[in-house]
Structure 1
């Protein structure tokens, strides 16, 4: 056992005493591993395994082993044995084709147990029996349409990012229901569609976007892929390549000074991001400046100066970095055959300790003690289980916005703490009010408190707010909260029940902790950018407009909040959690990392064909994926190719050997098909296939209409409608999220300090006059009153 796993075993992990029954199919059982990491007993019935298995594992074997780490594996038996497990469980996670759990639960357990069904397309629509793979999820969520470069075919992202993000969303939904059941005494019935989950947690086309977009929804992007080298330049240096991510004017000014203040770029016009990105002369000057410096030197100087920059690593370089070693982020596990392999070890730190699935379970708390403590909590409303929960949200940009929005949607009173001196990057907008459709989607159901935390009185006011709060969220550079005197130790001294969750790019410790972190830099450091390119063009980096892992990182942050609140119900004390976006990303490549560590060669897609094929019409595409012999036979029938049924193509290995000729045949057939028609024909035969949807296609796509996934809200200060997801998942108990509009900066300052602190109007006026509190900017207030600055209809 490593020091990290020993520490994980020693502390009171948040879900200790909780029981989860995992009845999921292989391939999606990763949903429940996070519960095991957080201390729950996760029971997973599995088929009998051959005794004495010492063969070299396949990638599928490794995937199963990784997904099942920390779980209690029991031999699958009859319904009597399953019923015994079910009636011990607080949460049952099952598939559509699993046994009917309701018939196995005792009457006294039926209302108290959460049952979450996870499937690719969910229940109750005409698409329930459709098949999905990672490429299908990319195609149907709009991610594929944005991946690649102009003039080329769409490029499937590496790994299985869509499925990994979907499983994280499902895990968040289950954690929310589990916590709600502790509050209300009632277990929910939840239907999770992994298509919808991927839509929300990977890179939602109608969700909150990064500051570089100026708040414009992805639907307004050009319909094709971006031009090569768009947005975040990747330039050569002395020992490889580096990526720059200069967004804010102050970042450019710092870079300008570092370059020696070249006169040709002194014009203030270069403070504009679009001008910098469009200047070939500036790009050439940056390349000259970087060329003789190493990645390490540039990263070190960038961190010291506040310039967002990262070396472009391979995955192997990232894994061997001293940063990950110091953080104990990579551990060693053993296959069922006895072979050791490396893997990322947990993505959440609780009270400074990594939550590891490799740690032995902790001793469950006494049921009597639990019941006594829980009885002191008044029952919550199952429709809004977090109603009354007070959240101080200092989070910024995508991770910060999403993390607190998830809590606000299920009832929490989320106060966005912000200031005009250091505005949230998502306030940089095409509208002069600081609003945008992106901001509106990411900050619905929150209130805004304008508070100057650089002022002594501002800090004092924050401490008073924290004394009555339940949760504090932030995602600044590590150490920022401590430098303000608002770190966890200070807050816990004021309020022992406070829960604090901090998200950062690289974690709170280690050599990379001080680096500025944006998603593009994390992807570069983690080795993802180096993988996300066309095989025939080493410079075709294609991750420039994706927003990953921000949204999925926010799901892990919300899971940590809810887990710590669950622990607080039985202990009365709060706690702190940390999330590293780098480690979230690496966890999504766990199978690749494990396979490489035991010398298992990357064997490419599981069968032929597997990829993106051009359909009839301009820039129309359809993904086709064959997983096994059954899919292959079905594809042969749809394409009317009886010759594909011969012995020479009977196995996946034989088909992979003839991949090129098979895919030429599929491409020829697809070229004569409408993409939608081809998708329906293949899915009717059971073959996972999907046409490439663009963001504008999503709301009208029949699947999303049948499932009522999207909704349209109207913001009182914008003409453009706000399209967003209707819910996190289909729930029997939860009401749909409210539609309270995202706030103007400082819009609710007065009412928040009145409600939370009981301040009078005179005292509030003094705080505003002394610039401790901020209210709506007078210029913005006049525009709003006059109905101006509302943007396009």
Structure 2
């Protein structure tokens, strides 16, 4: 691990009051070098007692508070509140997760904190946000997966939906909260003014996991999620999974060259020799027969044999690993993505290290979580840092601005994760120039219906420019280098080594521009024994154990992750956080650097608690389907109507009593066997039957609203199209209207990552045609005259939109 002083957020102080929701936000900032001070009440935070426990240690607390310092303060005591205000006066960030209004009632709300320190960035992470009709509702990871549109697309067609494994909603929200907080801080560096960042886990879940109004992957066939069939989509044939001698493997045969490799592996059967099978559409009609042949080929071979042979033939393939195999495997340990560390005094386990690499070095786990009050003497003895400088707010409301105005980004990113990272920067004011060419087109430009631009591409590339540059020509390379010399950031997500093979590695570009930040994203990371494997999201999920965990436990081989595009949107946000942190460091040092994100390690980091538990208790991390592990009822229940469902997710005895009152089951409340979480777990079938008897006669939204009114976490399974009528999303401006000249109707699109006081909403400029801005870039940024530009276009070095395509 690099020394703290070498990390990009060194010197920044974070006061962390988060408890039980998105605690990984502060952990991520600590990994990046910030001094994060975890504030707990005397006796310790409730999450110190959160399951799973090992030898009395909460593994959740251990993973989510590593690298932080710990102090105790009684915020119900005036002296404790004064001390917190004093700490906030010298801090850059304060993170809190209390119910809306709770800190205001203590005199510690955002207004009071900003009055004490106008330069402070207050990050409030709540289930539904600080406003709107749901603001006082209770949430859990599962209620957000239900309301956020994820559950409706997870499962086997014709069967009940399947709750994805792991705390994906809260973990993803933590990353976006870090992104939003750093945006507000970057804005402060320009304006001197802090901000209150209002983060809604519900909204962030809908934006990150499987966004209905964002760019999608090949699993949807280019069809927007709003137009998918009402039931669970069937994507099993696109990324098929086959049994073999010692488990399962998944293949992902999309491109012609990949099919030719598979065809040769099958022995070139005559029935599939027709060139029509070179296309996905051609193979689709023969799926049953083709899969039968592949199944026969695979059934007697081991996973390792198949992966090795597939790699040799250029066939994208991966083993479905178990969590134990992931922990024991060579790749992530060789990269430092998994580390053996002391996670509590005297307790050592193996766990994911952290999200990113900076300058080729892991920015991750730097020490165990603190004991209760461990750093009281140290922190309280330190002289208070000076209050960060603040610019007095002008009379009236200060104009909101986009914090990345003036930043220039060269975007080589493709498909989902590549599109999304550039889009996140463009939304915040950066001039993002998508560099592309017809010889190597971005797969997300392909449209099954032949439109110039698909809705997915329009969502994923809004606010960008496009310059057509042939990087396979010497002249094109030189033009790119000239652009790089005056740019701030370069983004890519090619196979590791691609930019270096073109002569565009960081060593070359940084000689031209020492201030450049170069960010790359790859499936399995740029180093390690698996780094050169072909990587697609479905293969990444298989290689990290997620596919095996995300399954319908009532069906043999009931794997359910075929339709999801997780973790692409998440990995993009991880990259955005790290890029912004590197730019913050550049202000201090004058130097750029590199950022590397492994999609696989984003998944592992989200599963940190369960993987740590697996290392300590082998065999503990298994698929649970729709049954929560720690209390009951925690599950998915059928409601009145066709394929309607509601998550009910009780946490604790008080919520159990409230649930019994709502469903009219005083007999259950009187049953002593059900008075504790352990008792309810032991009699789960009885509890589930009682809830089902009530929900099955109640429409899902009514069930949700009645339970939430009583303080019971519940979430109706919401389909993406239902976002349009959701009162909470409407009240908070979650969606806006966007128009594109090549799409004949107005489109709904997501707004920004959070609600800010000083950061403006994104612009909604239309996504570009390929090469639409080539001449503008060549003229204004490269200083080329019109005859030079025309000659380069005729030579194929520069490219404009294809003939016959209206520029709009």
Deviation at 1:252, TM superposition (A): 1.8
Provide the rounded CA distance (Å) in 1 between the counterparts of 2:334 and 2:313: 24
Pick from 18, 26, 37 the counterpart of residue 32 of structure 1.
26
Structure 1 counterpart of 2:596 = 578
Pick from 771, 780, 792 the counterpart of residue 767 of structure 1.
792
Pick from 4, 7, 11 the counterpart of residue 13 of structure 1.
7
Q: Could you list the per-position Cα deviations for residues 359-387 of structure 1 after superposition, in whole angstroms to 9, with x for gaps in the alignment? A: 599xx9xx99x99xxxxxxxx98512211
Provide the rounded CA distance (Å) in 2 between the counterparts of 1:59 and 1:248: 51
Tell me, what secondary structure is at the counterpart of 1:342?
A: strand
* More off after superposition, 402-411 vs 81-90: 81-90
Judge conservation of contact 2:66–2:367 (CA < 8 Å) in 1. Answer: no
Deviation at 1:723, TM superposition (A): 2.0
Structure 2 counterpart of 1:225 = 232
Deviation at 1:189, TM superposition (A): 1.7
Provide the rounded CA distance (Å) in 2 between the counterparts of 1:335 and 1:227: 42
* More off after superposition, 159-168 vs 460-469: 159-168
* More off after superposition, 177-186 vs 523-532: 177-186
Judge conservation of contact 2:342–2:368 (CA < 8 Å) in 1. Answer: no
2:653 is equivalent to residue 659 of structure 1: no
Q: Could you list the per-position Cα deviations for residues 550-604 of structure 1 after superposition, in whole angstroms to 9, with x for gaps in the alignment? A: 0000000000110000000010000001001111001111111111222285695
Provide the rounded CA distance (Å) in 1 between the counterparts of 2:704 and 2:632: 17
Deviation at 1:56, TM superposition (A): 5.9
Structure 2 counterpart of 1:510 = 528
Pick from 89, 93, 96 the counterpart of residue 95 of structure 2.
93
Question: For this pair of structures, how many residues does the alignment match?
Answer: 762
Tell me, what secondary structure is at the counterpart of 2:596?
A: strand
Provide the rounded CA distance (Å) in 1 between the counterparts of 2:583 and 2:82: 34
* More off after superposition, 576-585 vs 74-83: 74-83
Q: How does 1:679-694 map to 2 (within 5 A)?
A: 679-694=704-719
Q: How does 1:412-431 map to 2 (within 5 A)?
A: 412-431=430-449
Structure 2 counterpart of 1:377 = none
Deviation at 1:162, TM superposition (A): 1.8
2:736 is equivalent to residue 728 of structure 1: no
Q: How does 1:92-111 map to 2 (within 5 A)?
A: 92-95=94-97, 96=100, 97-98=102-103, 99=106, 100-102=108-110, 105=113, 109-110=117-118
Provide the rounded CA distance (Å) in 2 between the counterparts of 1:214 and 1:193: 30
Judge conservation of contact 1:393–1:414 (CA < 8 Å) in 2. Answer: yes
Judge conservation of contact 1:210–1:425 (CA < 8 Å) in 2. Answer: no
Judge conservation of contact 1:57–1:335 (CA < 8 Å) in 2. Answer: no
Q: How does 1:565-604 map to 2 (within 5 A)?
A: 565-599=583-617, 601=620, 604=628
Q: Could you list the per-position Cα deviations for residues 287-323 of structure 1 after superposition, in whole angstroms to 9, with x for gaps in the alignment? A: 2333344322332343344321111111111121111
Judge conservation of contact 1:149–1:228 (CA < 8 Å) in 2. Answer: no
2:335 is equivalent to residue 327 of structure 1: yes
Q: Could you list the per-position Cα deviations for residues 362-415 of structure 1 after superposition, in whole angstroms to 9, with x for gaps in the alignment? A: xx9xx99x99xxxxxxxx985122111000000011100111101000100000
Structure 2 counterpart of 1:497 = 515
Q: How does 1:129-278 map to 2 (within 5 A)?
A: 129-227=136-234, 229-278=236-285
Judge conservation of contact 2:4–2:33 (CA < 8 Å) in 1. Answer: no
2:372 is equivalent to residue 347 of structure 1: no
Q: TM-score, normalised by structure 2?
A: 0.90
Structure 2 counterpart of 1:376 = none
Structure 1 counterpart of 2:420 = 402
Structure 1 counterpart of 2:374 = none
Tell me, what secondary structure is at the counterpart of 1:182?
A: helix
Judge conservation of contact 2:468–2:774 (CA < 8 Å) in 1. Answer: yes
Judge conservation of contact 1:699–1:705 (CA < 8 Å) in 2. Answer: yes
Q: How does 1:269-308 map to 2 (within 5 A)?
A: 269-279=276-286, 280-308=288-316
Deviation at 1:193, TM superposition (A): 0.5
Judge conservation of contact 1:396–1:475 (CA < 8 Å) in 2. Answer: yes
Q: Could you list the per-position Cα deviations for residues 483-508 of structure 1 after superposition, in whole angstroms to 9, with x for gaps in the alignment? A: 11001111111100000010000000
2:674 is equivalent to residue 649 of structure 1: yes
Provide the rounded CA distance (Å) in 2 between the counterparts of 1:248 and 1:82: 58
Judge conservation of contact 1:162–1:198 (CA < 8 Å) in 2. Answer: yes
Structure 2 counterpart of 1:625 = 649
Pick from 42, 59, 62 the counterpart of residue 59 of structure 2.
62
Provide the rounded CA distance (Å) in 2 between the counterparts of 1:770 and 1:254: 34
2:724 is equivalent to residue 699 of structure 1: yes
Tell me, what secondary structure is at the counterpart of 1:117?
A: strand
Deviation at 1:333, TM superposition (A): 3.4
Provide the rounded CA distance (Å) in 2 between the counterparts of 1:249 and 1:594: 41
2:733 is equivalent to residue 708 of structure 1: yes
Q: Could you list the per-position Cα deviations for residues 650-697 of structure 1 after superposition, in whole angstroms to 9, with x for gaps in the alignment? A: 110011111001101111111111111111100000001111111111
Evaluate the alpha carbon distance shift between residue 92 and residue 254 of structure 1 in structure 2; reply closer, same or farther with a 3 A threshold. Answer: same
Deviation at 1:142, TM superposition (A): 0.9
Tell me, what secondary structure is at the counterpart of 2:67?
A: coil
- Which structure 2 segments of 5+ residues have no match? 75-79, 370-381, 390-397
Structure 2 counterpart of 1:76 = 73
Provide the rounded CA distance (Å) in 2 between the counterparts of 1:90 and 1:157: 35
Evaluate the alpha carbon distance shift between residue 156 and residue 644 of structure 1 in structure 2; reply closer, same or farther with a 3 A threshold. Answer: same
Provide the rounded CA distance (Å) in 2 between the counterparts of 1:297 and 1:80: 64
* More off after superposition, 60-69 vs 341-350: 60-69
Deviation at 1:535, TM superposition (A): 1.6
Tell me how large the CA RMSD over aligned residues is: 2.4
Judge conservation of contact 1:434–1:744 (CA < 8 Å) in 2. Answer: yes
Provide the rounded CA distance (Å) in 2 between the counterparts of 1:427 and 1:199: 23
Tell me, what secondary structure is at the counterpart of 1:341?
A: strand
Evaluate the alpha carbon distance shift between residue 306 and residue 49 of structure 1 in structure 2; reply closer, same or farther with a 3 A threshold. Answer: farther
2:636 is equivalent to residue 612 of structure 1: yes
Q: Could you list the per-position Cα deviations for residues 59-109 of structure 1 after superposition, in whole angstroms to 9, with x for gaps in the alignment? A: 981111211111111112411210121011111112332352456547573
Structure 2 counterpart of 1:790 = none
Q: TM-score, normalised by structure 1?
A: 0.92
Deviation at 1:730, TM superposition (A): 0.7
Evaluate the alpha carbon distance shift between residue 106 and residue 307 of structure 1 in structure 2; reply closer, same or farther with a 3 A threshold. Answer: closer
Q: Could you list the per-position Cα deviations for residues 202-243 of structure 1 after superposition, in whole angstroms to 9, with x for gaps in the alignment? A: 110111001343432111111101348342110123332111
Evaluate the alpha carbon distance shift between residue 306 and residue 107 of structure 1 in structure 2; reply closer, same or farther with a 3 A threshold. Answer: same
Judge conservation of contact 1:214–1:428 (CA < 8 Å) in 2. Answer: no
Evaluate the alpha carbon distance shift between residue 396 and residue 298 of structure 1 in structure 2; reply closer, same or farther with a 3 A threshold. Answer: same
Provide the rounded CA distance (Å) in 1 between the counterparts of 2:44 and 2:223: 55
Provide the rounded CA distance (Å) in 1 between the counterparts of 2:44 and 2:439: 64
Pick from 303, 317, 323 the counterpart of residue 315 of structure 1.
323
Judge conservation of contact 1:86–1:104 (CA < 8 Å) in 2. Answer: no
Q: Could you list the per-position Cα deviations for residues 511-540 of structure 1 after superposition, in whole angstroms to 9, with x for gaps in the alignment? A: 110011111000011111111112222311
Pick from 740, 749, 763 the counterpart of residue 738 of structure 1.
763
Tell me, what secondary structure is at the counterpart of 2:253?
A: coil
Structure 2 counterpart of 1:385 = 403
Evaluate the alpha carbon distance shift between residue 56 and residue 137 of structure 1 in structure 2; reply closer, same or farther with a 3 A threshold. Answer: closer
